[in-house]
């Protein structure tokens, strides 16, 4: 989650990830069918066409680059989760379910700009899909389950309202984005913006070598990550931070130590150090404290003390 004033390149930063992302298997079917779904659910877990293709030994997936799917604020719920294809219904007089943006974003990135302004119904759908890794669409007698194992990225301007706590908790890392302080850097940002505006292909080509090198570095770090372990010193520091901040959610440790492992992998190491925990602590633990919960628990302790006094009387 990127939080900061408008015009600080939050959206630009997310869109720039495109050339740095790794490869992933994606479905060749409009319904999102994969070989994995057959392994989990059997032939009934995929559409008839894919069941036939699988029976003939044909592939249901192909390797492709991870993509970024942007969710517009004016999207309807059917656009997000999927629904009946109205064109097919009108032209061919038959009803067919099609997956929505959540289904298409399986194993990819779902990006929501101005995420704090998202409609509540769509927010609930995203929360459910993110928690389960899949979701089911029902339209009358028709039912279809789609995988939604996605990475969620959001950006917001705090001046335009707060983010719902349920959705805030789904963002593991939260970065506060500020404008540049150095006048020279601000003018350089202006020059680069104009260079890209007038000749985008030439501008991209001038950074192609560095982009490819960084993409390869990220892929190597991803390959190294499964072997990275958390050292005793890093574990003790992380648990100490969570305890001192009085954070109740166990997602704090999950996010903190996974981010620390990723940081160590990017630094070409197979063991996390306390320095890795320190490097990601602000991103992982920022805003996980809750003054409202602190007041709630304090009130509960007062009530418990009154009841305990009555019992002892």
- The token pair at 73 is 């604020």
286 noted as active-site residue: no
- The token pair at 52 is 């036939």
Contact between residue 286 and residue 242 where contact means Cβ atoms under 8 Å apart: no
Closest CA to 25 of 58, 53, 59, 64: 64
Contact between residue 136 and residue 143 where contact means Cβ atoms under 8 Å apart: yes
- The single residue of 170, 251, 269, 286 carrying the catalytic annotation is 251
- The token pair at 32 is 């999102």
Q: Which residues contact 223 (CB under 8 A, 6 or more apart)?
A: none
By DSSP bridging, strand 82-84 and strand 97-99 are antiparallel
Residue 85: CB atoms within 10 Å? 16
Question: How many whole angstroms separate alpha carbon 234 and alpha carbon 138?
Answer: 46
Catalytic sites, residue numbers: 251
């Amino acid at each position: 989650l990127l939080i900061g004033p408008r015009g600080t390149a939050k959206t630009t930063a997310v869109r720039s990830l495109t050339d740095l992302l790794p490869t992933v298997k994606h479905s060749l079917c409009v319904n999102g069918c994969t070989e994995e779904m057959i392994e989990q659910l059997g032939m009934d877990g995929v559409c008839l066409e894919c069941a036939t293709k699988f029976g003939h030994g044909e592939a249901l997936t192909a390797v492709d680059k991870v993509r970024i799917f942007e969710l517009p604020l004016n999207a309807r719920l059917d656009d997000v989760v999927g629904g009946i294809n109205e064109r097919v219904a009108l032209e061919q007089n038959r009803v067919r379910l099609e997956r929505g943006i959540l289904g298409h974003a399986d194993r990819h990135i779902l990006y929501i700009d101005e995420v704090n302004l998202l409609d509540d119904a769509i927010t609930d759908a995203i929360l459910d899909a993110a928690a389960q890794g899949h979701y089911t669409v029902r339209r009358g007698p028709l039912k279809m389950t789609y995988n939604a194992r996605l990475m969620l990225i959001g950006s917001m301007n705090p001046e335009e309202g707060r983010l719902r706590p349920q959705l805030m908790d789904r963002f593991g890392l939260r970065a506060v984005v500020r404008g540049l302080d150095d006048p020279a850097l601000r003018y350089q940002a202006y020059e680069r913006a104009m260079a890209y505006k007038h000749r985008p292909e030439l501008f991209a080509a001038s950074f192609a070598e560095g982009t490819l090198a960084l993409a390869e570095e990220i892929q190597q770090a991803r390959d190294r990550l499964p072997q990275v372990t958390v050292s005793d010193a890093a574990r003790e520091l992380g648990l100490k931070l969570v305890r001192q901040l009085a954070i109740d959610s166990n997602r704090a440790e999950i996010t903190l130590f996974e981010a620390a492992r990723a940081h160590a992998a990017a630094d070409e190491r197979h063991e996390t150090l306390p320095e890795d925990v320190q490097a990601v602590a602000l991103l992982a633990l920022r805003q996980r404290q809750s003054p409202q919960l602190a007041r709630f628990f304090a009130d509960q302790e007062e009530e418990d003390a009154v009841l305990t006094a009555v019992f002892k009387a």
